[in-house]
A and B are shown apart, each in its own frame.
Chain A
Amino acid sequence: MTSSDLIRRTAAELADLLTAGEVSSRELTEAHLERVSAVDERIHAYLHVDAEGALAAAADVDRRRAAGESLPAAAGVPIAVKDVLTTKGLPTTCGSRILEGWIPPYDATVVRRLKEAGLPILGKTNMDEFAMGSSTEHSAYGPTRNPWDLERIPGGSGGGSAAAVGSFQAPWAIGTDTGGSIRQPAAVTGTVGTKPTYGGVSRYGLVALASSLDQAGPCTRTVLDAALLHEIIGGHDPMDSTSIADPLPPVVEAARRADVSGMRIGIVRELTGEGFQAGVQQRFDEAVAHLVDAGAEVVEVSCPSFTYALATYYLILPSEASSNLAKFDAMRYGMRVWPEGAPDASAEQVMAATRDAGFGDEVKRRIILGTYALSSGYYDAYYGSAQKVRRLIANEFAAAFTRADVLISPTAPTTAFRFGDKLDDPMAMYLNDIATIPANLAGLPGISVPSGLAPEDGLPTGFQVLAPAMADDRLYAVGAALEARLLAEWAAPLLDGAPDVTSLPMPAAATKEDAR
């Protein structure tokens, strides 16, 4: 088996090959590292590649397997991790200058579980600074490019993880989703991404953007892989007070059964139609038809408060972020900038100079918004009102789930847009997450599954499934059923239709880093 064959296999297939002894973890890891060397100059999915660490972990798995040890099912399948999760001994920058050079002394719980499962970590993936953005254009280290078109965004904030998986630089990856940062990149890169139920995956070691919204989850090329990875990282963690103690729902079993017969799927009126690109809507409608064909029943539901979800989100997120990001003050770790012309600068002056130099514009924008929203005299009108609307949204979800087992919508309103298109218009950028944000506000799980290519631009479109809290298994049942039908229709995985990245011309030097 050549290395180019290996990298196109799904994680589940690779796990089987490893178990059967047909391939070693070292070969697999080397194949992916070679792919990274070959294409990441063009994609820029990785901020840091840890060849040495990944190969050492692979060698360890191979040695243990050779010794006859019983290993976790996916042991030896390498993985990429979004640079927002702490990794002991590996840089963790969150896409920000302010954390440049910081090496965490501890592993996030998710990372620890990956290591315990025997997954070699290939490296850390690019992201919008502190996960603020929908395009990775806000990474301080330059944007990631969409494997389908290097002039277009790979989604965000987790564009690095989605592009790494979509360009076969990793079989799977970890992302985080605060308002759609796993699902929207999945949609625009033709990959699969799950945001688990809030509390379903530990946040310990996930550098917080908005604590009440953040959730780590899988980025993969198939629904089954997402379920397998979900199972590896999910479950209760005593280090995270908001972690749910109940056992994880049977996600892998649901993905394998792919059964939607008799399931009621609810189309959310507010999350379709107007504002959605024609080709996105078309592929969504076709997907619905496939599910009906597979035995599901379609109902329409209305959640009027979703109209306010974006406004609510952009009060709660900046409020929490303004507090979460206060710790980056140059006192204990990360960047330290001495104010110019002030040899006797006070601690406060150093803090201010560092934060001014270390944070990008989008981060500053949200810190200012959040500081304002929490200020005395404004708190009730902004943060307080937002919490009330958040409750309304949760209530409307609950009502909708009395009529439907899952809710569905297109994941993102458009296919991947061009770099720079929305950089100067924050509202246009924020609107990209219109369909994904409600689930974060209510703490519900959601998945994005490829639904095809939009006829007008030939770019991937995503299909979103939302489920009640701790009913993540339903995401996988619906996702896998749709995936199976579409695969039968297409005769090959969607990504097989993506251009060969190595044949694409090197994009013009337009990264932020180069521009500096």
Chain B
Amino acid sequence: MSTSTQRTTDAVLDYDDVVAAYDPVMGLEVHVELHTNTKMFCGCPTAFGAEPNTQVCPVCLGLPGALPVVNAVAVESAIRIGLALNCEIASWCRFARKNYFYPDMPKNFQTSQYDEPIAFNGWLDVEVPAESGEGTEVFRVEIERAHMEEDTGKSTHVGGATGRIHGATHSLVDYNRAGIPLIEIVTKPILGAGERAPEVARAYVAGLRDLLKALDVSDVRMEQGSMRCDVNLSLMPKGADRFGTRSETKNVNSLRSVERAVRYEMCRHGAVLQGGGSIVQETRHWHEDTGVTTSGREKSDADDYRYFPEPDLVPVAPPREWVEQLRTTLPEPPAERRKRLQSDWGFSDLEMRDVVNAGLVELIQETVVAGASPAAARKWWSGEIARRANAEGQDVPTYAAVLGVTPRHVVELESLVTSGRLNDSMARQVWEGVLAGEGTPTEVSDARGLELVQDSGALEAAVDEVIAANPDIADKIRDGKVQAVGALIGQVMKTMKGQADASAVRELIIAKLT
């Protein structure tokens, strides 16, 4: 039994020392809520954020006598996910009951799949930084299985300081979530990632997220819990062939946390093993704020869920023709699609990687479709708005949606630049106005009076004035020191209050002095 002090002050080994002495073995279990209109086994709606216990019926409340009926759309989604993960699809499989008591589980068993998953034996290729340190390379994550199950209700523990059950005075349960269709995707043990294990884990979850989004089967919103990751991790001494004891870190709910949790657990395991101790097989909680895990309940292989085939449901036996038909509905794999888009857009590897990491691929694609150049789309979406979204802890698409900023705004902004109405620095000011909610780019530039001066008379007068005021510099330029022109351009722009096209100013000055 671990003491409370050990729980909060686990020793950690330096990461470099860990990877020098040990090989990490990871197993990632990802739960994905499908965004079907109705629940897994009843007709209740699945909308997120509804008043607690308003989306319930006898079936998902597990009332005596109620019976489940499988949601055919969920089965279809499960098969499509399986196919996209290069899995075999079972020609016949059953649901099973996983029996354990918990107040947020209405029947005190979860209807899940056990030894007969709908999809099994697949893989997902993910891109990670190359071992050489230059560029990226593909790392193949083997998929053990993808199976269907129902979500549980959601417990809220009230009255305690931490929101956890310890110290709470009472608990509330919302059964709206009970019965939401889930797909659990389980990897085979991920070996050989070495020091890149945290990045591999992150890249896998990110890759899975992109794939599920492309399949349009889930909202895959980690912050809303529609995609949740459990990280199993163990270390074995370099060269060993037997896995070490694993810990299971639950509910790691952002990409960044996946990476950090793997790294932290590696360091914690490393410290225990280095000190001659042994790892306790247990569930651990990830703390986003402090970046550590703490011990949950001890878990052992003796945990007995008394699985048996669900007698209230008939087997799922998808006809081969249906499976093959579903195969034709699969979207282009995200990795291939990214390659194609990178080539279409003419982005460098580095540019594309940044765009992918920032989650901007879809937004840029929409913006290009709406009429912008790829370069402009990348420029505006990865600039100021990305900085702000990051500060808010949100991804750009979500943040843009909150602000009401759309691809059409980028298209409009770019056209204001290409038509010569705005220069770059003015366009940045206009974009700030758009982000501040002042309106469309045209409205902002009108309201702020931002427009390049098209009147050549005014510009010429300003140039003449500046040349007259700086005879020394003008002489230098006349003598052929063209680089001195910059000093004059700056003064002209100042006189023009920035509302001039700098290249036009340059040409005008040179024309007058040479």
Measured CB to CB, the residues of A under 8 A from B are 85-86, 92, 94, 99, 102, 104-106, 108, 203-208, 210-212, 238-242, 319-320, 322-323, 326-329, 331-333, 347-348, 351, 371, 374-376, 379, 383
Given contacts A333-B63, A347-B103, contact A106 B306 (CB under 8 A): no
**Does B68 sit within 8 A of A, measured CB to CB?**
yes
B13-21, B105-113, B407-415: which lies at the A interface?
B105-113
Decide if A203 touches B308 in the complex (CB within 8 Å): no
Chain A residues lying within 8 Å of B308, measured Cβ to Cβ, are 319-320, 323, 374, 379, 383
**Does B313 sit within 8 A of A, measured CB to CB?**
yes
Decide if A327 touches B306 in the complex (CB within 8 Å): no
Given contacts A105-B58, A327-B108, A351-B101, contact A204 B67 (CB under 8 A): yes
Decide if A85 touches B65 in the complex (CB within 8 Å): yes
Closest Cβ neighbor of B302 among chain A residues: A376
Chain B residues lying within 8 Å of A333, measured Cβ to Cβ, are 63-64
Decide if B64 touches A86 in the complex (CB within 8 Å): yes
Given contacts A208-B312, A242-B314, A351-B101, contact A327 B65 (CB under 8 A): no
B43 to A: closest C-beta gap in Å: 10
Dominant secondary structure of chain A at its interface with chain B? loop
Decide if B64 touches A94 in the complex (CB within 8 Å): yes
Alpha-carbon separation in the docked complex, A276 to B53 (Å): 55
Chain A residues lying within 8 Å of B99, measured Cβ to Cβ, are 322-323, 326, 374
Given contacts A86-B64, A204-B66, contact A331 B311 (CB under 8 A): no
Cross-chain pairs A/B with CB under 8 angstroms, 17 sampled? A94-B64, A99-B64, A104-B63, A104-B64, A105-B58, A108-B65, A238-B69, A241-B69, A242-B311, A322-B99, A323-B308, A327-B108, A331-B173, A332-B62, A348-B101, A374-B306, A375-B304
**Does B97 sit within 8 A of A, measured CB to CB?**
yes
**Does B61 sit within 8 A of A, measured CB to CB?**
yes
Query: 10 closest A-B pairs (Cβ-Cβ)?
Result: A326-B108, A374-B306, A211-B311, A212-B311, A205-B65, A207-B64, A86-B65, A207-B65, A347-B103, A327-B107
Alpha-carbon separation in the docked complex, A351 to B63 (Å): 16
Other than the given A242-B312, A329-B101, A379-B306, 17 more pairs (CB < 8 A) read A104-B65, A106-B63, A106-B66, A204-B65, A205-B66, A206-B65, A210-B311, A211-B311, A239-B69, A241-B67, A242-B314, A331-B173, A332-B62, A347-B103, A374-B308, A375-B304, A376-B306
Chain A residues lying within 8 Å of B70, measured Cβ to Cβ, are 241
Given contacts A211-B311, A211-B312, contact A323 B109 (CB under 8 A): yes
Chain B residues lying within 8 Å of A379, measured Cβ to Cβ, are 306, 308
Interface flags for B73-108 (1: CB within 8 Å of A; 0: not) read: 000000000000000000000000101010100111
Chain B residues lying within 8 Å of A105, measured Cβ to Cβ, are 58, 63
Chain B residues numbered 269-322 whose CB sits less than 8 Å from any CB in chain A: 304, 306-308, 311-314
Chain A residues lying within 8 Å of B314, measured Cβ to Cβ, are 241-242
Alpha-carbon separation in the docked complex, A319 to B308 (Å): 9
Closest Cβ neighbor of B69 among chain A residues: A241
Closest Cβ neighbor of B109 among chain A residues: A323
Alpha-carbon separation in the docked complex, A157 to B35 (Å): 44
Decide if A326 touches B101 in the complex (CB within 8 Å): yes
Closest Cβ neighbor of A331 among chain B residues: B103
Chain A residues lying within 8 Å of B106, measured Cβ to Cβ, are 327, 332
